[in-house]
């Protein structure tokens, strides 16, 4: 299936990758093994979305609340993230040929210097790509993001660079991690849960939501197509009639 098979594609798709642990438990495996399978799904769906012609896609990889998980599980997730970064570096020319720009959104405090260095390198080497913006939310929280934006604006007000009465919706949006990218059109959450979990709170103000009982490691291109087909049928009024 290609983008031409859809009457309309969302500009920005957000995906909450949920269900890795339950997938593993159902099979008598460790949670870490579930995350390994989930990482494979992430790679596949990310490439598929780009091939369809979706310009912006954001994956929720690790939240600010996920640090509370068992230390062994957190370490396994960070190890997988490092594997992905190294793989992305090895495939740099392939990704550049596809026009993929990599961005990592979230608070980098708490993430190792080695991983932060790899993130910086990949962002710099793909900064001129403009076909697909692939955002990976790592140590990310929507409330944290908005707090960071407000603090940045407050600092400018204190410095006399900005008047409070001049603060607009656009002022706040410019300070978000997603910067100049458009708001989320479609939010996808597998695993049967139906909540936003502190993900892209501002950007999802008028997003369409699509839920599925499929656990993330079992999520396929067919399920992604189902979400896009459902999106096509939505009547987006943005508060109007």
**Boundaries of every domain in the chain:** 11-145+179-233
**Exposed (0-12), middle (13-18) or buried (19+): which is 239, by Cβ within 10 Å?**
exposed
The residue annotated as part of the active site, out of 20, 51, 66, 198, is 66
Query: Which of 18, 95, 133, 135 is flagged as catalytic?
Result: 18
Q: Is 166 annotated in the active site?
A: no
pLDDT digits (tens, 9 = 90+) for 95-116: 899 999 999 999 999 999 999 9
pLDDT digits (tens, 9 = 90+) for 177-192: 999 999 999 999 999 9
- pLDDT one-digit tens code per residue, 115-159: 999 999 999 999 999 999 999 999 999 999 999 999 999 999 999
Q: With respect to CATH, is domain 11-145+179-233 assigned 3.40.1180.10?
A: yes
Please give the model's pTM, rounded to 2 decimal places: 0.93
Residue 240 confidence (pLDDT) above 70 = no
pLDDT exceeds 80 at position 213: yes
Active site residue 51: no
Q: How confident is the model at residue 237 (pLDDT cuts 50, 70, 90)?
A: confident
What pLDDT is stored for residue 1 in this prediction? 63
């Amino acid at each position: 299936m290609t983008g031409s098979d859809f009457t309309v594609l969302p500009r920005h798709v957000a995906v909450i990758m949920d269900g890795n642990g339950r997938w593993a438990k159902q099979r008598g495996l460790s949670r870490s093994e579930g995350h390994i399978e989930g990482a494979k799904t992430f790679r596949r769906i990310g490439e598929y979305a780009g091939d369809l012609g979706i310009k912006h896609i954001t994956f929720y990889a690790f939240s600010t609340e996920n640090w509370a998980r068992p230390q062994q599980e957190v370490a396994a997730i960070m190890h997988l993230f490092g594997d992905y970064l190294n793989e992305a570096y090895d495939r740099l020319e392939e990704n550049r040929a596809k026009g993929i720009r990599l961005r990592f959104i979230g608070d980098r405090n708490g993430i190792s210097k080695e991983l932060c260095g790899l993130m910086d390198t990949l962002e710099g080497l793909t900064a001129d790509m403009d076909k697909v913006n692939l955002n990976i939310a790592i140590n990310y929280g929507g409330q944290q993001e908005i707090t960071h934006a407000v603090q940045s604006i407050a600092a400018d007000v204190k410095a006399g660079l900005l008047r409070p009465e001049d603060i607009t919706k656009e002022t706040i949006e410019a300070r978000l991690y997603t910067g100049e990218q458009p708001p989320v059109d479609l939010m996808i959450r597998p695993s049967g849960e139906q909540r936003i979990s502190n993900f892209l709170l501002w950007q999802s103000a008028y997003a369409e939501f699509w839920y599925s009982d499929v656990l993330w490691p079992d999520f396929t291109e067919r399920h992604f197509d189902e979400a896009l087909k459902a999106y096509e049928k939505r009547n987006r009024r943005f508060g109007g009639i």
